[in-house]
Structure formats: structure tokens, C-alpha cells
Structure 1
């Protein structure tokens, strides 16, 4: 776990810096500067691009991680890396042509409720392609155990450029329409920089030949395309469906709430960048016991860190929304529902990495397709009834069912178990502190109240987790930190 903890810690710090920048923009800058209509529009475009991104990537970001460790010679490595870069480009061309052919039908479908989307439709595939190749070159770096730069670009770089663009709107250097186009340019720059970094780690020697195991690669890729689309649809499908039923400005309210809740998943996102290739390697070498140990450690470590983040958000959510415009206040219940779904998914540890790198990876597709069906149906039922809150409830049910299905599959088929008694201790600590602090409101300015409450929660949370020895790795980090401070 040495390299995992090292790079996971760096990735976690970077990701939280990125989320901090994004939080300032999302909570304090986007609503007043961009306005609810264009804020909702920008989120809708990015959500659509993220959903179609797996089609352009052809699943190569996951395929690269799974099969690269199986290359035995440098020649095989070069052949495989060349294939992962060229193959998606060849298949993206017909996808774009199909989109152009059916442009009128697609345009009519997605703009019938919000005509403002029509002007920017073609930005969706452009950003989707940029996202796809960013992920491919990010995977190129990760298989060589370099996950920090790509994570920095993804979590900090994109948000920092967006923040600069918002400042440009504020000082009237650009218009809100320019901001939408500039967002597409930002994703293009991120892709180029990540590509150059990947080539610096491993200089490309392009060999336009088909890998010897191309059949296994293509079979795996096919399922990953669909499962990746399913995962992204579960993440962003709610915003896409809101566009079909409500004014696009409601996506702005929904996006603020979901962004706050997504902070809970930051530890998982950070750790998976380095855990994924390690999981692939352990499975390729059939090291079942080491994999089971890694599964348990990632589960409890993510639960402790993610539970702390969730707790701080939940106990301070009312004070946080006091600083937002009153029309955003309906998002509090969305934060709770989306937050709980992210927490449950987080405590499954490296569950996704295990399934994707196993011989049972096809099951992800079947489970995912079933969940997509439920997601669409549940959104169609609950959005007309309860608006954006109904969409959040549909997302909570969908993701929880999906996570439970994946957990049961890994336990039953692969005999890997993520949970120990420490997981129960962690849940008990989180529930106890939530009950203690949620109903306790300081009679101060919201920022002062949030800081005071967070300090008290942090002290008690760290103490209880340390005394109960919930996570051995986190206890070692705390001991090392306190030793250095006192020394």
C-alpha cells in the first residue's frame, strides 16, 4: 500500500484543491455571474459530452490499464499503445458522420423544451472527443505509475481555467456566450497537455500493426464501452432528463446541490487513479489473498475519509445554503440523497477495478443496462411529481441498486469481501456525530458557524477513529504527523 497511499494522498490533496476552486465558482460565482440559464446550459453540454465520451474513447482507457501489464516485450508495448491511440480515432469518424446525418432529429429532440441549446449542440461531440483522448492519455501515464499530473489537470486545471473565464465575464472581457465556447477550448487544451505529458513518460514509437491478442482486446473493449456509458449516464443522466421536462435554469439549482454532494466521492476518485493498475496486476498474477487484503483496506480507508467529508457537509448544509440565493434552497434534500448514494458507492473500495479486470467483466454490462432502464423510468416518474428533488431520489435508488448488485456479484462469484468490523465502527461514529451536531446551530455568521462546527467535528471524528483503530494506515499517518509536530 506504500505507493497507493503516497500517490493517493497527493491525488486527494490535488482533488480537494480542485474541488475547493470549483466550490468557490459553483457556490459564489456561477449563480450571480453566469446566471441560472447559462449556468444550466453549460452543465447540460458537459453532461451530454460526458455521457457520449465512452463511445469516442471506445473503452480504451480501461482496456489500456487491463492489457498493458500483459505485454512481454517493448515491441508488444509499442504495438498496443499505438493501437489504443489510433483505433478510437478511426471509429470516432463514422460516429460524427452519423450525428451529422441525424442532426435535425437530434436537435428537435433535445431543444423542444429549451431552444437555447440548439446553437451549441455541435460543442457536445467536440468536448466528448477531447474528454475521450484526455482519458486515454491519462491511462497511458497511469500504467507507468504516474497518476498525479493527469489528476491535477482533471481536478484543478479545468476548474482553474473556468474560474479565470468567470473573472473575464465579470470584467466584461468576454460574454456569457463566449464562456460556453471557451469551455470547449479548455477541454481541448487539457487533452493536449496530458498527451504531451504521457509522451514524455513513454516516448511513442507508433507501429501500425494489430496486437496479437486483438480478439480479447476488442471483446473487452465492447463491453467497457457500454458499461462506461452506463456509468456516465448514471452520473449525468439526471441533468439530461431534467432538460426534457423543466426549464434549463433548474439544472443550475440541481448542479450546485450535486456538486456539493460529489465532494464526498473525492477520496475514491483520488485513490482509484493508482489502485486500478495495481488491482489489474494482482488479478493478472492470480494473487487472490493480496487482492482481498487490498479490497478491505481500500474499503475502510475510503469510508473513514469519505465519511468525514460527508459528515462535515451534512452538519453544515443549512448554514452553507444561507449564503446562496433563496431560490437555491430547495437543493438541501438533493445534497442528502446524492451524498448518501456516493457514500455507499465509496465504501465498496476498489470494487469497480476488480470487476473490470476480471473474467466476469461482461456482468457489468448486464447490470448496468438494467440500471439504465430503472434510471430512465424512475426519472420519468419522479421528475414530473417532485421536480429536481424527484430526480435526486431516482438517482439515489438507481445508484444504490447498482452498487448492491456489484457488491453481491463480487462476494458470490469471486469470494472477495470488503467489509470488516471496522466498517461498522466507522458507520457508528459517523451517525453519532451527525446526530450530535446537525441540530446544533451557532448564532454567528454562516462562515464562522461552519468553521467552528467543522473544527469540533474534526477533533471528535479523528479521536474516535484513532481510539477504535478503525484504519491502521490512517492511524499511522496521524502518528507520523503528530510525531513530526511535537518533535
Structure 2
């Protein structure tokens, strides 16, 4: 079995485990735990959404830079030096952001909730901790992908984070802890995930060295800033939905969209199973042979991913009326939201490895207008449908 098939199969097993944990939590435990206090669940969801968005901004494209530059290192010492430079700038940016936040008032986040925002008062530190955790996981995940250790990163994000979330939700449902204690331990689970991923990266042989700032700063920042606007904009667009639902409709509405989005994410499982190892192999192939040699891989990955995602979406949409019978009353009738989100995954799958090939080649700038347009379209369509309709 080839490395793509082997790691994809292992990732699929881990993702399936995470899917089961997430399904039990999202579809049964959380609706009961937060019945009558839906804005509490909404707060947790926009916390992770904003953590992801801020991490993308602060990262300055460094995760993509890790995948682009490290395969070109001529020695382990040179790789360690390059990695240090790529980690240095996001870390400094996060420290500056944390320092600037000390001048903000306790109600600075109130605009994230269309109703009142009282639940967001004094939580800016929590948002920064979540952003820092996501930033660290992004960087460590890129290092592990470069080292072809994608299964470990997937297991930490899928099994640990979702399993701990389920355990905390059950404790909250059972009255073992109040919401503030639940909220605090929810943050701790992400800090622990960073620790687990760091230990895995160390065991893979990843090391930091003395950064060669004069040699690496310009090319890495130039590529990183582009990667932020390019690849980062896709991640931002996917999380803007949750943020805008809370800001325009209220935190109490966020769980309903979260419910629909979770169902639709099943469509993206093939992408998540194959994506990390395909990105790693593509970056190495482009570095050694050039993008022209990646044609067969592009066609095969596009066919396989499109067939799998389209089949999953069709099965889910057809089965939604039956699924509604088993769902809580407040979370029924989400078929069209599931279809819309699922179609986005199918469209992404149809590109195969085209995105990584462009990203790691000398023509990486070609994808920028498309991804920036995605952000603009997301904001515009969300505003129109949420405000007008």
C-alpha cells in the first residue's frame, strides 16, 4: 500500500472516530446541555471561529511557508534554521497583539452578539489564548505534515479535542460544573492539544536552530504574506459564517447553524483524510521535479475526491427528511443549509491537488484573486441573506 493510501486510511479511521464523538456531542449532548442557554453554546463556537481567524492573520502564512521552504533545506541544520525564522514572526506578532489588547475595554467584544453581548464581557484574554492555541497547532501540524506524520496531528485534533469537549459537555449537562468552569476547561483542552502536538513534533526530529534572518527574512515574508491572503483567506471565509451569524442574528442562533454545518462536514471527510499527505507529497514533488510532473497526481486526486464527496452529499441530502425525525425540534429543517455548505466541499474536492501545486510553484500568485473573491462573496451573501431575507 502506498504512503498516500496508507496515511489516508489511517486518517479516515481517526476522522471517523472524531465524527462519532462530534455527532454524539453536537446532535444530542450539547442541545440538551444548553437548552434555554443557547447563547452559551454560541459563545464557544464563535470563540473557536475567531481563534481560527486570528491565528490565520497572526501566522503570516508561515504554515504554508514551512511546507514550501523546508523541503528545500540541504541539511538538518539548515532546516532547523529555516523553521526558527518561520516561527519567529508569528510569535512576535501574537505578543504584540496581546500587548495591544491590554488597552481595550471589557466590552470590546460586545459587537459579536447582535442581542446584547453581555456574555462576551471580559473575555478578550480567552480569545487570545484560543488564537495562540490555534496558531501553535497550525505551525506544528505543518511541521508534522512535512515529516509525514499527519496521522498524529489528526488524532490530536479529532479524538482529543472532540473527546474532551464531549466529556466536558456531559459534566455540564449533569450539573457537575457551572458554565464558567466548563468554559475555562474548554480552553485548557486546547492548550493540552498544543502540548501533545509539540511532543509529537519533537519525537519526529523537528528542531529549532539559529535563524538566518538576513538570508531568509525577505523571501519567507514575501511568500508568507501572499500565502496569508491566498490560502488563509479560504480558512477565514469558512469561519466568517459563524461570526456573522452571531453578529447579525445573535449568539443564540449560532448553534442552529453549527448543527447544519456539522452534518455537512461529513461531505468533506475525504478531503480531510487525503489532504495532509497529498499536500506534503505535492510540496516535495514540486520542489524536486517542478509542477509539470504533478499532472497525473492532479487528475487522479480530483477524480477520487469528487466522486467521494458528491456521493456523500447526495446520500446526506436524500436522507435529511428521515434524519429530521431523530433530531431535536429546534434543529430540524436544515436541509438547504446542509446542501449549500456541502456543495462548497464538493467544489473544493473537484480541484484535486491544483491548489497545492499552484501554492508551492513559482506561479503561486495566480490563486490570489479567486480566494480573495471568496471572502468578499462570503461577506456579501451572508449579509444579504441574514439581513434581507
Normalising by structure 2, we get a TM-score of 0.93
Task: Tell me by how many angstroms 1:325 deviates.
Answer: 1.9
1:359-403 C-alpha deviation (Å, 9 max, x unpaired): 2223333332233222212212111233xxxxxxxxxxxxxxxxx
1:327 matched to 2:333: no
1:83 matched to 2:82: no
Partner of 2:161: 158
Partner of 1:99: 101
Task: Tell me by how many angstroms 1:65 deviates.
Answer: 0.7
Partner of 1:110: 112
2:259 to 252, 256, 262: 256
Greater relative contact order structure (CA < 8 Å, 6+ sep): 2
* Secondary structure of the structure 2 residue equivalent to 1:212: helix
Indicate if the aligned counterparts of 2:260 and 2:334 stay in contact, CA closer than 8 A. yes
Partner of 2:6: 6
1:298 matched to 2:296: no
Equivalent pairs, count = 386
Task: Describe how 1:199-238 pairs up with structure 2 within 5 A.
Answer: 199-210=202-213, 212-238=215-241
1:148 matched to 2:148: no
Partner of 1:370: 373
1:129 matched to 2:132: yes
1:76-105 C-alpha deviation (Å, 9 max, x unpaired): 111112223333212211122233334468
Task: Describe how 1:72-471 pairs up with structure 2 within 5 A.
Answer: 72-103=74-105, 106-111=108-113, 113-115=115-117, 116-210=119-213, 212-288=215-291, 290-386=293-389
1:31 matched to 2:31: yes
1:153-190 C-alpha deviation (Å, 9 max, x unpaired): 11221100101111211332212332222221111110
* Secondary structure of the structure 2 residue equivalent to 1:330: coil
1:90-133 C-alpha deviation (Å, 9 max, x unpaired): 22111222333344684343345341222433311211110111
* Secondary structure of the structure 1 residue equivalent to 2:341: helix
Q: 1:203 to 1:68 in 2, by over 3 A?
A: closer
1:7-40 C-alpha deviation (Å, 9 max, x unpaired): 0111112112111110111111110113322112
Whole-angstrom distance in 2 between the partners of 1:103 and 1:134: 29
Whole-angstrom distance in 1 between the partners of 2:232 and 2:208: 30
Normalising by structure 1, we get a TM-score of 0.75
Structure 2 unaligned regions, length at least 5: none
Q: 1:57 to 1:359 in 2, by over 3 A?
A: same
Task: Tell me by how many angstroms 1:141 deviates.
Answer: 1.4
Task: Tell me by how many angstroms 1:267 deviates.
Answer: 0.9
Partner of 1:404: none
Task: Tell me by how many angstroms 1:279 deviates.
Answer: 0.7
Whole-angstrom distance in 2 between the partners of 1:243 and 1:220: 33
Whole-angstrom distance in 2 between the partners of 1:217 and 1:241: 32
Partner of 2:19: 19
Whole-angstrom distance in 2 between the partners of 1:358 and 1:228: 14
Pair member with larger Rg = 1
* Secondary structure of the structure 2 residue equivalent to 1:206: coil
Moved more, 200-209 or 23-32: 200-209
Indicate if the aligned counterparts of 2:82 and 2:211 stay in contact, CA closer than 8 A. no
Structure 1 unaligned regions, length at least 5: 387-487
Q: 1:104 to 1:362 in 2, by over 3 A?
A: farther
Indicate if the aligned counterparts of 1:54 and 1:228 stay in contact, CA closer than 8 A. no
Whole-angstrom distance in 2 between the partners of 1:23 and 1:111: 26
Whole-angstrom distance in 1 between the partners of 2:283 and 2:136: 21
* Secondary structure of the structure 2 residue equivalent to 1:348: coil
Task: Tell me by how many angstroms 1:303 deviates.
Answer: 2.0
Whole-angstrom distance in 1 between the partners of 2:30 and 2:120: 18
Partner of 1:401: none
Indicate if the aligned counterparts of 2:303 and 2:350 stay in contact, CA closer than 8 A. yes
Task: Tell me by how many angstroms 1:327 deviates.
Answer: 2.0
Indicate if the aligned counterparts of 1:268 and 1:349 stay in contact, CA closer than 8 A. no
Q: 1:289 to 1:336 in 2, by over 3 A?
A: same
1:244-293 C-alpha deviation (Å, 9 max, x unpaired): 22131111111000110011111101211111111112212234454110
Whole-angstrom distance in 1 between the partners of 2:139 and 2:159: 19
